[in-house]
Amino acid sequence: MNFSPAISRYFRHGLSLLLLPAMLLTHCTSSKEDTPAPGGGGGTGGGGGGGNPPATGPSQVALWLTTPDQAALFQKSTLTLNFQTPASSNPTIIVDTTKTYQSIDGFGYTLTGGSATLMSQLSASTRTALVKELFATDENNIGTSYLRISIGASDLDAKPFTYDDLAGGQTDPTLAQFSIAPDKAALIPVLKEILAVNPTIKILGSPWSAPAWMKSNNSLKGGSLKPEYYAVYADYFVKYLKAMQAEGITLDAITIQNEPLNPDNNPSMYMTALEQSSFIKNNLGPALRAAGLTTKIILYDHNTDRTDYPLTILADAATAQYVDGSAFHLYAGSINALTTVHNAYPTKGVYFTEQWIGGPGNFAGDFGWHISNLIIGATRNWSKNVLEWNLAADQNYGPHTDGGCSTCLGALTINGNSVIRNTAFYIIAHASKFVRPGSVRIDTNVPSNLTNVAFKNPAGKKVLIVQNTSSQAQTFDIQYRGKAVSTTLSAGAVGTYVW
């Protein structure tokens, strides 16, 4: 059943609150342990208790903490946390780097056209500082490492558009009128500033609609892509990717259609699994290959309640040869559905590409749900990324199209030259700063009320994200290579531990 975008997002979000975080661990593989035992490294830690003697000397483990009351917001602890001989009966999270799972591409946001417009209107000094805070990894910067952008307008642009819009009744089968000029006003300049700070950031592009003249209803809202324009639309993707490359922006991946089973957004386009499969197999896959483009093709880009959609496409080997993996949202369904798709096609990636927070929001509830289901739940179910929707909106949740999401709370609220950091900023920060691209998820157990996920990053650091889901403070041990540290998280708190 489909609803208007705003109602649909509210309704799905309400349903999603009933979901339990999934902690499935399946099909693990082994890797050789190559990390030395912890030494007297620098940094800071937190906690204590559990019967161990007080630690002395510099902290071996850094702790970055967020509490539901916002007393700490991704705050670096000044307490000391060191490994010792286990000497307590605390609940224990055992971190095992010899069991590994998927590699990580990154964590981030959707840089909508509206987000870019608001950022472009900041003063140069404010924007420079903000881009550094978002995309650099030193000091208190959060290291955002993955962005999703719209191919043409999303519903969080001021108005719908594509790169080949024509007057009614006209067509352009040679794409002679194609131009990415609409993106040159704000999106491309902001992307270039981001790339100057993080040249290796991964970028995913997703269209909300094909040009209206290619569609069954001659509208940017709803309708389907006419089969006679499949080849032209494949060329449209090629032209777009090459035009972005000419601007110095290389996309790592594309999805075929944002929310292909939702024709009620503005813009939007309905596309069945068989239609998407045919388009990839006969048109888009061969067109990208002929153009020498290595951009990944990612399927679906919609809710986890319809795993039949990606599974139908992946079952066709002629289509699957062009496909890197499947992308999901969680406005309906359960996060463990990602494992279902992974287990069916373990050589294909799974990605988590969108989840909103409805304004004005509830920090404790929203933060806890997103950490549990996405940062922890999605990655424990094989996702290679986690993306929040969206990076920035103004104080009125704008800009957005007529009929687009009118209450989407950005990770940032930008009002004139002021910037407020909202819930999604801290959700992503807990993973993005230390779980760098190329990190690998490693094995942990899940004690009661201590949902968690762990990674080993390319620098060899271990990163453990723990959420205390109980209503009271919880003291627990983190065990690694026979040694343990004791630490405490208050009710609902989330800690990122790094050593």
Q: Which residues are catalytic?
A: 259, 354
Tokens (6 digits) for 262: 């939702």
- Distance CA(72)–CA(68), nearest Å, equals 8
Beta bridge partners of 442: 100, 454
| Helix and strand totals (H; E) in the chain | 14, 21
Amino acid at the residue 112: T
Helix axes 187-197, 113-120, angle to 10 degrees: 80
Residue 228's SS3 state is helix
The Cα angle at residue 461 between residues 457 and 465, in degrees rounded to 5: 80
Tokens (6 digits) for 463: 């990163």
Q: Of 497, 368, 357, whose CA–CA distance to 433 is shortest?
A: 497
Q: Of 382, 369, 278, whose CA–CA distance to 330 is shortest?
A: 369
Beta bridge partners of 393: 413
- Distance CA(347)–CA(343), nearest Å, equals 9
Residue 465 near residue 453, CB atoms below 8 Å? yes
The sign of the CA dihedral 440, 444, 446, 450 is negative
Across 299-312, b (16+ Cβ under 10 Å) vs e yields bbbbbbbbbebbbb
Across 379-413, b (16+ Cβ under 10 Å) vs e yields bbbbbbbbbbbbbbbbeebebbbebbbbbbbbbbb
- Distance CA(72)–CA(65), nearest Å, equals 6
Q: What is the DSSP string of 459-473?
A: TS-EEEEEEE-SSS-
Helix axes 124-135, 187-197, angle to 10 degrees: 60
Amino acid at the residue 207: P
Residues 6+ apart with CB under 8 A from 201: 106, 108, 135, 144, 145, 146, 147, 194, 195
